[in-house]
Structure 1
Amino acid sequence: MHNHHFLIDNNLKELTEHSTTTWPIALYHSKIRDHMSGYIPLHWHDEFQFVFILEGEAEFHINEKILNIQQGDGVFINSGCLHMAKDANGTTCTYICLNVSPHFITANELFTTFVHPYMHASQTPFILFNRKDGWPNRIYQCIQIIQRLIEQTPAYYELELNIQLITIWKCLLQNRFQLTYDARKHDRNERMKHMLNWIHEHYHEKVLLQDIAREGQLSRSECCRYFNDILKKSPIHYVNEYRIQQSLILLQKTDLNITEIAYQVGFSSTSYFINIFKRVKNTTPLSYRKSKASFTSN
């Protein structure tokens, strides 16, 4: 098991190269709390993602939905969907995750019929895997086989790997995938990405609600409704949480003092930064820095 920490660009697209082999596929085990933020921050990527919870429970936010996923269950996350995850109910969640490029699922001749339409099925941002249903077990078995193939790389393993991916995809299509498209939901998702992109480019500056709303071509009230519906928080609340997330990097990777960090991530005063940090992380910036330094030295 290893600590998987990914990079995200300004518009929340994950930059981590999802490639465990020479193919556009990655499979890894991780604990949610091992990520730098203590949770998996909001992001999106072009790859399809298959997640199974091995231990504990996780709370996933996918577009506008909040899901609690228990040990043994899992979820498929469609291409381009905003999502985040954190530990749930006081547990430490360990999961296995398979990311795969949609273009690697089938040959080009089959892609336009059996894959591409489903990438844009806005009515299916995710599919829950409930172990009681039976059919998700087949997907989990294929993922276990893929893991062994990647680790052992036997002769012709690339062909066998492709067989397992096609089996996973066929199983998904046969059971739960709704091939429907809602232009309003797609537009809503894209507006949200534009507003988040603007925040991530300007978080270190003075951020006003009307600036965020303008980027989404919305009124201020509509902007607040988008954030409350999708992220379950106000735009300014999100801005402050993102600033805290960026401060974690500076606290761990630099020798800047607390005041310098506060101003670098956009807070107007040190005291306000410390208050927001305590609210988000349940500790002070200085205590957080000391705890991470102690963990690293050990």
Structure 2
Amino acid sequence: MLLKDFKVDQSFKELTEHRTVVLPIACYETMINQNINGYIPLHWHDEFQFVLVVKGEAIFQINEEKIAVREGDGLFINSGCLHMAKDKNHSGCAYICLNVSPSFVLSQELYTSFVNPYVQATNLPYLHLKVKELWAKNILDAIVNINQLIQQSPPYYEIDISVQLTLIWKNLIVNGFQLEYEQMEMLKSKRMKKMLEWIHTHYSEKILLEDIANAGQLSRSECCRYFKRILKKTPLNYVTDYRIQKSLILLQQPEFNVTDVAYQVGFNSTSYFIDKFRKTMKMTPLTYKKYKNN
């Protein structure tokens, strides 16, 4: 299926249910520029994510690192890592996305020894899967196979998917990564998610920098450093961007005018909302509203 949009909760945890009818996985094809925002916004989920770019090129951000992924290559994104994706150079990027519950990758007896250490590692937020490397090509081929199995649903395809997942995981771990477990990195991730959760709960209210910092149990200067390092913007600029993101859905509702939307998402001035919206979306809110309602 082609996924055009997905929802996240107040901490930016994705709400899409990652499972087929009987398996705790989801596999779908998505085009980045068909998302309501024009990109895949920041989110996270408990599932592992495997990506295969089938057209164009994308810039993925995982935690605070950015990586360009070309057609034919892919990514492994670890459980719980914040990530987002943008089309590079208007390439019309499309990719196959495979999300799978860590507990389903291997049998319960093998999970503790061969899966959980990778979930807990703080030095493995992602892996760049390059088709020219045999171990990565094996993973990318298995993603294609799983996608076809789900679409075609031949007899016993659930068993075939389980076999492919085992193949994927073995190829991933046989590379002998030296896993690290830094308590400070775990704490940083937890604090960032707490601050995002607070913003996503209170975005329609008046927000001060001190409020965001308190949510992460940080000083204001440390709070700013977190946002600059991970999101490349200030906390209050992030709030503005998030409010505009939320306004896109409301502007598509015929019962709300631009002023209604501005105040509902937390702006205290219609003119300020219009100015910030224009700078972000390259059009006015009214133009966007007319475009989406035609």
**Structure 2 length-normalised TM:** 0.97
| Partner in structure 2 of residue 56 of structure 1 | 56
- Identical aligned residues as a percent: 55
| Partner in structure 2 of residue 131 of structure 1 | 131
Please state if 1:78 is matched with 2:74: no
Supply the distance in 1 between the matched residues of 2:103 and 2:234 (Cα, whole angstroms). 37
Structure 1 ranges of 4+ moved more than 3 A: none
CA contact (8 A) 1:124 1:178 kept: no
| Partner in structure 1 of residue 283 of structure 2 | 283
Secondary structure of the corresponding residue to residue 90 of structure 2: coil
| Partner in structure 1 of residue 255 of structure 2 | 255
| Partner in structure 2 of residue 237 of structure 1 | 237
1:1-298 residue pairs with structure 2 within 5 A?
2-175=2-175, 177-294=177-294
Q: What amino acid maps onto 2:249 in structure 1?
A: I
Compute the displacement of 1:50 (Å).
0.4
Supply the distance in 2 between the matched residues of 1:178 and 1:254 (Cα, whole angstroms). 55
Instruction: Give RMSD over aligned pairs.
Output: 1.2
Supply the distance in 2 between the matched residues of 1:15 and 1:8 (Cα, whole angstroms). 5
Compute the displacement of 1:132 (Å).
2.5
Compute the displacement of 1:89 (Å).
2.0
Supply the distance in 1 between the matched residues of 2:258 and 2:176 (Cα, whole angstroms). 50
> Against the structure 1 CA distance between its residues 223 and 108, is the aligned structure 2 distance closer, same or farther, given a 3 Å change threshold?
same
CA contact (8 A) 1:127 1:177 kept: no
Supply the distance in 1 between the matched residues of 2:177 and 2:282 (Cα, whole angstroms). 40
Secondary structure of the corresponding residue to residue 8 of structure 1: coil
Compute the displacement of 1:72 (Å).
1.4
Secondary structure of the corresponding residue to residue 131 of structure 1: coil
Q: What amino acid maps onto 1:288 in structure 2?
A: Y
CA contact (8 A) 1:75 1:129 kept: yes
Secondary structure of the corresponding residue to residue 181 of structure 1: coil
Unaligned runs of 5+ in 1: none
Supply the distance in 2 between the matched residues of 1:176 and 1:237 (Cα, whole angstroms). 41
Supply the distance in 1 between the matched residues of 2:102 and 2:185 (Cα, whole angstroms). 21
CA contact (8 A) 2:254 2:293 kept: no
CA contact (8 A) 2:131 2:140 kept: no
Unaligned runs of 5+ in 2: none
Supply the distance in 2 between the matched residues of 1:67 and 1:248 (Cα, whole angstroms). 27
Supply the distance in 2 between the matched residues of 1:141 and 1:69 (Cα, whole angstroms). 16
Compute the displacement of 1:176 (Å).
6.3
Supply the distance in 1 between the matched residues of 2:69 and 2:152 (Cα, whole angstroms). 30
Q: What amino acid maps onto 2:55 in structure 1?
A: E
Supply the distance in 2 between the matched residues of 1:206 and 1:214 (Cα, whole angstroms). 15
Deviations 1:56-97 (A, max 9, x none): 111111101011111111111000000111111232111111
Q: What amino acid maps onto 1:201 in structure 2?
A: T
CA contact (8 A) 1:127 1:176 kept: no
**Structure 1 length-normalised TM:** 0.96
Supply the distance in 1 between the matched residues of 2:176 and 2:255 (Cα, whole angstroms). 51
Supply the distance in 2 between the matched residues of 1:254 and 1:8 (Cα, whole angstroms). 24
Secondary structure of the corresponding residue to residue 86 of structure 1: strand
